[in-house]
Amino acid sequence: MKTKLLFLLFFQLSMLASAQEYIFGKVSSDFGTELSGVVILNVRTDEKTLTDKDGNYMIAARRFDELRFVKSGYDRNSIKISAESYSKPLNVALLKSPYLIPEVQLAFQATGNLKKDIKALEPAKRVVALNSTMTSYMKSKPTEVYPQLRTPSAFANPNMNAGQVNMLGIASALSGLFGKIKNPPLTTANYAETQDFYRRIKNTLDLSFYTSRGFDEEEIDRFLIYVDQSYSLAKKYRKNFDVAAITADMKMAYMEYIKTHKVGS
């Protein structure tokens, strides 16, 4: 008899130990509004339940279980079950999730007043000033010294010209010096030099080109004066009498001379 009583007592204790314990309560917003459709999840057992239209719920849970409360548009909340959770309703408040208000762009609407509409379309003065400042900054030279990629002197190839005379530079300088000596600076001819230069042209150059076109001696003199005034013959060639250059200048001047002068009339 005693053995049977002990067996019954042990059976009842085991039944109580294996019996489920339930947590119940209400879920509401931070403003006190009951929230329906909130998902309550027991992380250990993966059991889920939903709040009813009044925000009430009930779910099986043991001590130290974690319950998660999830609803779209609200921050998730997690609560650890303790001994006190069974003695009174476990009420939970969910905070509204923050969201960004989409930017509203106001489209331009014409008023029909041209002056007002032009001012409305113009950029702000601060924007114009900022763009001007940025443009000036981009055009200005950098003040910082940027690193340059150079080969260290220890690894650079030897300079085969180091310590040698730059013969090309010396030759160029001597050529310029001799050119200055050979070609003295041009100076304006005086009257005697000019007359002597004209006589030399008439005695040296072949003037048959001009005589065949009706130039007599007086016309040739007038033509030489014209060429000298137009192309500075005496100034350029009295000291360096270049026959080819003088002939070319005279031919160029002839094409202009016959346009304004009547020859052989």
- Name the CATH topology of 19-94: Immunoglobulin-like (2.60.40)
pLDDT, residue 59, reads 95
Task: For 111-139, give one letter per residue: b (16+ CB within 10 A) or e.
Answer: eeeeeeeeeeeeeeeeeeeeeeeeeeeee
Mean pLDDT of 49-68: 95
Rg for the chain, CA atoms, rounded? 56
Beta partners for 68?
41, 78
Task: For 241-258, give one letter per residue: b (16+ CB within 10 A) or e.
Answer: eeeeebeebbeebbeebe
Give tens-digit pLDDT for 214-262. 899 999 999 999 999 999 988 899 999 999 999 999 999 999 998 888 7
CA distances from 151 to 144, 154, 156, 157, 163 (A): 21, 8, 6, 9, 21
pLDDT, residue 201, reads 93
Give tens-digit pLDDT for 83-106. 898 999 999 999 998 865 555 555
Give tens-digit pLDDT for 141-191. 666 665 666 666 655 566 555 555 556 555 565 555 555 555 567 889 899
d(CA 253, CA 249): 6
Question: Per this entry, what is the length of the chain?
Answer: 265
d(CA 41, CA 48): 5
The CATH 2.60.40.1120 domain(s) of the chain lie at 19-94
pTM score, two decimals?
A: 0.35
